[in-house]
Copies of this chain bind each other. A is one copy, B any other.
Amino acid sequence: MSVVWFNGEFIAGKLALDPADRGLTLGDGLFETILVVKGKPVWLSDHLERMGDAADELGLGFDAVGIRVGVAAVLEQSSAPQEVLRITLTRGVVPGRALGGIGPSPSLLITLATFDPQAVPKTITLATSRIRRNETAPSSRLKTLSYIDAIAAAREISGRADDALMLNTAGHVASTTIGNLFLLKGKQLLTPAATQGILPGIARAKLLQGAGALGLEAQEAMLTLNDIHAADAVFRTNSLRLVTQVTMLDGKVLGQGSIEFIRDRLVSLLEE
């Protein structure tokens, strides 16, 4: 971890964390991972808006100005062509034992680490996890620290595929463990709707907005495994890894239509 900033100060080495901080004890917090290109954060306002909305929903203190001050301080230490900025916000310490309790002050951890885009594979394979995403749950919809189900899904398919496809509890396609899923079919660009147990990604939102300029009709939909197998091309979006084509699902080859123009479009959007 090249740069670490915690509750207003740069840290060398370990954090001095309260042992009762609910981020550690109960996964009670939020995070965002943001691509940094030549010292500039990509879609920072979108990430902060998503975090602020989630913090409101969960009753976490969210100090937008304080976070921007910390982010600016950390980004001054930028030292590599591409980096990952991670903002972690926890509920901090809550007096008493009540799960629903509120603490006096959240903890804010901001880190900056080198990111090597060459290490991101150009294509990936997927296998379907037995673990479903829960469309009624904050852990599916919000970028919370409670990530164990995605971790277990990634472990489950490890060795068989590169990432896990997760369905929701109704059996519809939701997302992978670390990104949103898109299908290209003719001029249609389809992705599971926000109600389907997905984390609505920032790259996903940018593509939905930008599809028209590519001559595509973007649409949120309820999708099945059959829809994936019938698509011309399938790809994953992620704020760091951007657009990654999916070549196989559960050992079956998927449509190999070109998605280069979509990747190029997203790259041009992030350069704006």
Contact = CB atoms under 8 A, between A and B. Distances in A.
Given A132-B136, A139-B146, A158-B100, A151 B16 contact: no
A146 B143 CA distance: 12
Interface in A88-129: 88, 90, 98-100, 109, 111
Contacts of A18: 14-15
Task: From A16, A21, A169, name the one whose CB has the most chain B CB atoms within 10 angstroms.
Answer: A169
27 contacts: A11-B19, A14-B16, A14-B17, A15-B15, A15-B18, A19-B109, A19-B111, A24-B88, A24-B109, A25-B31, A26-B148, A27-B144, A27-B146, A28-B147, A28-B148, A58-B151, A98-B154, A99-B147, A100-B151, A100-B154, A100-B157, A133-B134, A137-B152, A138-B152, A144-B148, A146-B149, A169-B169
Interface of A: 1, 4, 6, 11, 13-21, 23-28, 31, 57-59, 86, 88, 90, 98-100, 109, 111, 130-134, 136-139, 142, 144-152, 154-155, 157-158, 169, 177-178
Contacts of A28: 147-148, 151
A33 B119 CA distance: 41
A1 to B, nearest CB: 6
Contacts of A99: 147, 150-151, 154-155, 177-178
A131 B169 CA distance: 13
Contacts of A26: 27, 145, 147-148, 151
Contacts of A86: 25
A69 B15 CA distance: 25
A14 B19 contact: yes
A190 B65 CA distance: 52
Contact of A148 (B1, B11, B13, B146): B146
Contacts of A57: 152
Nearest to A158: B100
Contact of A1 (B6, B19, B138): B19
A24 B145 contact: yes
A26 B86 CA distance: 12
A155 to B, nearest CB: 4
Contact of A27 (B130, B136, B147, B158): B147
Contacts of A31: 25
A148 B99 CA distance: 9
Contacts of A139: 139, 146, 148-149
